[in-house]
A and B are shown apart, each in its own frame.
Chain A
Amino acid sequence: MALAHIISPKWRTTLSRARQSQGGRGKAIVMGTVGLVFWLAVFGVLYRVLRYFRGVEEIGPLLAGKLLGLVLLSFLSILILSNVITALSSFFLAKDLDLLVSSPVDWIHVYLAKLGETAVHSSWMVALMAVPIFTAYGIVYDGGWLFGPFVVSVFIPLLLFPAVVGSALTLILVNVFPARRTRDLLSIIAIAAAGGVVLLFRLIRPEQLARPEGFRNLLDFITVLRTPTSPFLPSEWATDSVMGYLVGPFDPLALVLLWSSAGATIVVGALLHWKLYASGYTKAQEGAERFIRGWVWQRVLGPIFHPLSVAKREFVIKDLKLFFRDTTQWSQLILLGVLVVIYLFNIKALPLFSGEQVPFALVTIVSFLNLGLAGFVLAAIAARFIFPAISLEGRQMWLLRSSPLNLRAMLWSKYWVGTIPLLVLALLITILTNVLLQASTFMMAVGVSTIILLTLAMSAMALGLGAVFPQFDTENAAQIPTSYGGLVFMMSTIALLAAVIVIEAAPVYAYLQAASRGEPIPISTTMLGAFALVAVLCLGATTVALYVGLRRIEAMEF
């Protein structure tokens, strides 16, 4: 009863938020459709793979089990990391803690309520992701109606383990370091680890494993498949339970192990909480020592932005300082670096130059389509870094609106602070990929000019739509792009990208035909018209987006 009472404000808040959310039914339909498409895509791919496995004699079920084991192991790793970070907020930094800690509430109820909160916040996405995966397994291996409840009974302890372990790790860390410092440290470690894993996975070129010459003999292969990867991990017990249920023989030991160990972990976690929470919570109240050499920034950036008006200059410098002093913001640059390296690596790894004759047409087409792909990557980056710009000003809007700051100057500063780095990145990706592809001068010129126009437009759209769909309540910038407005931005950008690619397809095709016949570039009205249309479209999108954004900011009330 007491536990339910502690949790009740959370779910009541969630319910009210759902009722009051902007967009109502339309938003729910869009989000639901996107979610459904994603689910269907995951289900479709896995269904085909599992159908194929099922058709392979002897090793089919082993492969399916191995795949499930890998998936659940990845889930477990992601969940531990995510729980560590979430536990820091829910156990030590949440706003309701002062009330809970000062009230006569039993410590075990506080622990269980906060553990539940941590588990739900960290696991909902993984749980949703697991639905199409288990559905595919259930359908391919004829799991029957009881398979659903069975999977739930397997999955719940699998979610509880990382929640308890993550919370316990956080509890120990907070007792050693100040909570806010720990949060910064963890964000960097988490992002660097995620980036490292993705990079490593790509650089080992997993596509080579599919080549048959990689296996020396079948028996070795089966032996490897039969060996449990991690026999002491809950993910392995969960895999054994599920595969035992689906293909037999079913051994209840794995399920018993899962539940009994989850129960035991919660007991150990609760004991740790009992012993260490009070001291950890006290330490978490200490502010981290944050003396800043502000003059360094002023000396370096002041002269660079000196030609700007005072208000614009101070705004730009302020935005740069806030970005580089916020670990949750700048640490994302690590992922960005990884993304660029993988992107370039993928282009380099394309089997275009493996034959004796380099097909000119293929290189031109890849170079052209690369424009769309690079545009998509840039759109994702704009969504992460430029879209939240207006939302992040929310709490300080009293200052901006009560001062004689021209809102146009604010928008101008935010636009260029976001656009210039994006433009540098866009040019870097486009020029390097075209050099790697050994594309012609014509394609290089088309690529560079188009990506400049697209970057200007996407940046403006991110800022404009960020003002139309602001998230003033969210303090974490990383959550803002995942909102409904973020989705609208991504869809609008993809529509713009598609339009640009379709319009430019005609002149590029004409160039390709002429070049293959050894003729000079056919500069025609159609070609010039197509490029002019792209320019008008992109510059139009830039102007309209910035205008709408400005009007929206002017109309905002706080």
Chain B
Amino acid sequence: MIQLEGLTKQYGKFVAVNGIDMEVPTGELFGFLGPNGAGKTTTLRMIAGILRPTAGRVLLGGDDVQENPMAAKARLGYIPDRPFVYEKLTGAEFLRFVAGLYGQDGTVIEQRIDELLDLFELSVWKDELVEAYSHGMRQKLIISSALIHRPECIVVDEPMVGLDPKGARLLKDIFRQFVDRGGTVLMSTHTLEVAQAMCDRIAIIQNGNIVARGTIAELRHQTEAGDASLEELFLKLTGGGAMRELAAVLSD
């Protein structure tokens, strides 16, 4: 379970995230949507313990990320939006290293490495340095690294970027099976079709504040949008001005 209580992040006078309260229970796939610069990535990085909150707290399975980081982070698998990995390690070595960070090694991990590389069709690249991997392959490797230690929660920032259709489909299946087995996924994405198809509940963040949350049906009800699609709901909640400007620019 992921709990955010009054989570705030300020950079000088700029408030990137403004006192968010949110709860993602066990067995739920939760979508976190918002326009560029709304505060999604900052929130996810605070959950992962990369950024320190200005106020508020993050609880992972009941453990505070700041107060009890080792226990909290051991439950988490984090997938960032930009796949920076050690260029001079091979794919298998990178996964072994990540498992080591979680205190895991031995034959169980070796088997798990083979399974994950096989699942993401990276087995052929197992012993090749990461510097030769494409963007999509790196993304697959990072997803594998988030799963290597069998986490309870997954926090993922833009998971579909760089993935081929087969990889994207595979990831959707993995996340669905993960939550069906009692895992928790918090996913930020701009791909609204993916969010609509996959997520049990959704929160929309704008200017650091959550402006709406709930199932698609609840969002429709909150916005009185009839049977509108998530895309329409999103534009209605976050302001469609930008879309109109874009249309004007393209028609020039």
Q: Given known contacts A292-B93, A297-B93, A311-B100, what 4 new A-B pairs fall within 8 Å (CB)? A: A309-B103, A396-B84, A399-B85, A402-B76
Q: Which one, A292, A395, A397, A557, contacts B128 given CB within 8 A?
A: A292
A424 contacts chain B at the CB level, 8 A cutoff: no
* Residue contact A288 to B100, C-beta cutoff 8 Å: no
A318 contacts chain B at the CB level, 8 A cutoff: yes
Output the residue of A293, A317, A405 with the most chain B CB within 10 A. A405
Given contacts A287-B131, A310-B103, contact A395 B84 (CB under 8 A): yes
* Residue contact A322 to B100, C-beta cutoff 8 Å: no
Chain A contacts for B49, CB-based, 8 A: 401-402
Chain A contacts for B80, CB-based, 8 A: 398
B67-75, B161-169, B175-183, B198-206: which lies at the A interface? B67-75
Chain B contacts for A555, CB-based, 8 A: 52
- Mask: chain B, 119-162; 1 = CB below 8 Å from A; 0 = not: 00000000111011000000000000100000000000000000
* Residue contact B97 to A404, C-beta cutoff 8 Å: no
Residue of chain B at shortest CB distance from A323: B88
Q: Which positions 84-125 of chain A face chain B at CB distance < 8 Å?
A: none
Given contacts A309-B103, A557-B51, contact A404 B89 (CB under 8 A): no
* Residue contact A291 to B103, C-beta cutoff 8 Å: no
Q: Which one, A180, A291, A405, A406, contacts B127 given CB within 8 A?
A: A291
Q: Which one, B70, B74, B89, B145, contacts A318 given CB within 8 A?
A: B89
B223 contacts chain A at the CB level, 8 A cutoff: no
Q: Which positions 58-112 of chain B face chain A at CB distance < 8 Å?
A: 69-74, 76, 78, 80, 84-86, 88-90, 92-93, 96-105
Q: Which one, A298, A313, A322, A406, contacts B88 given CB within 8 A?
A: A322
Given contacts A292-B90, A314-B97, A322-B89, contact A402 B105 (CB under 8 A): no
Given contacts A287-B132, A395-B84, contact A314 B92 (CB under 8 A): no
B250 contacts chain A at the CB level, 8 A cutoff: no
Given contacts A287-B131, A395-B84, A404-B70, contact A294 B102 (CB under 8 A): no
| Min distance, Cβ B75 to any Cβ of chain A, angstroms | 9
Interface of A, helix, strand, loop or mixed by DSSP: helix
Residue of chain B at shortest CB distance from A398: B80
CA distance A397 to B49 in the complex (A): 11
| Min distance, Cβ B130 to any Cβ of chain A, angstroms | 9
* Residue contact A290 to B128, C-beta cutoff 8 Å: yes
| Min distance, Cβ B88 to any Cβ of chain A, angstroms | 4
Give 10 closest A-B pairs by Cβ, nearest first. A314-B100, A402-B48, A395-B84, A402-B78, A403-B101, A404-B73, A325-B88, A290-B129, A287-B132, A401-B50
A321 contacts chain B at the CB level, 8 A cutoff: yes
Chain A residues within CB distance 8 Å of chain B: 180, 287-294, 297-298, 309-311, 313-315, 317-318, 321-322, 325-326, 395-406, 555, 557-558
* Residue contact B129 to A325, C-beta cutoff 8 Å: yes
Chain A contacts for B96, CB-based, 8 A: 298, 314
Given contacts A288-B132, A310-B105, contact A403 B93 (CB under 8 A): no
* Residue contact B98 to A399, C-beta cutoff 8 Å: yes
Output the residue of A325, A402, A406 with the most chain B CB within 10 A. A402
Chain A contacts for B50, CB-based, 8 A: 397-398, 401-402, 557-558
**B interface, size bucket:** 35 or more
Output the residue of A180, A293, A298, A399 with the most chain B CB within 10 A. A399
13 contacts between A and B (CB under 8 A): A287-B131, A309-B103, A311-B103, A314-B97, A318-B89, A325-B129, A396-B84, A398-B50, A401-B50, A402-B50, A403-B73, A404-B73, A404-B102
| Min distance, Cβ A309 to any Cβ of chain B, angstroms | 7
Chain A contacts for B97, CB-based, 8 A: 314-315, 317-318
Q: Which one, B48, B73, B74, contacts A398 given CB within 8 A?
A: B48
Chain B contacts for A402, CB-based, 8 A: 48-50, 73, 76, 78
CA distance A403 to B49 in the complex (A): 8
CA distance A396 to B69 in the complex (A): 18
| Min distance, Cβ B223 to any Cβ of chain A, angstroms | 34
| Min distance, Cβ A307 to any Cβ of chain B, angstroms | 14
* Residue contact A403 to B98, C-beta cutoff 8 Å: yes
* Residue contact B101 to A321, C-beta cutoff 8 Å: no
Residue of chain A at shortest CB distance from B44: A402
* Residue contact A294 to B103, C-beta cutoff 8 Å: no
Chain A contacts for B132, CB-based, 8 A: 287-290
* Residue contact B131 to A290, C-beta cutoff 8 Å: yes
Residue of chain B at shortest CB distance from A329: B88
| Min distance, Cβ A280 to any Cβ of chain B, angstroms | 20
CA distance A298 to B109 in the complex (A): 14
* Residue contact A404 to B100, C-beta cutoff 8 Å: no
CA distance A326 to B71 in the complex (A): 35
Residue of chain B at shortest CB distance from A394: B84
| Min distance, Cβ A303 to any Cβ of chain B, angstroms | 13
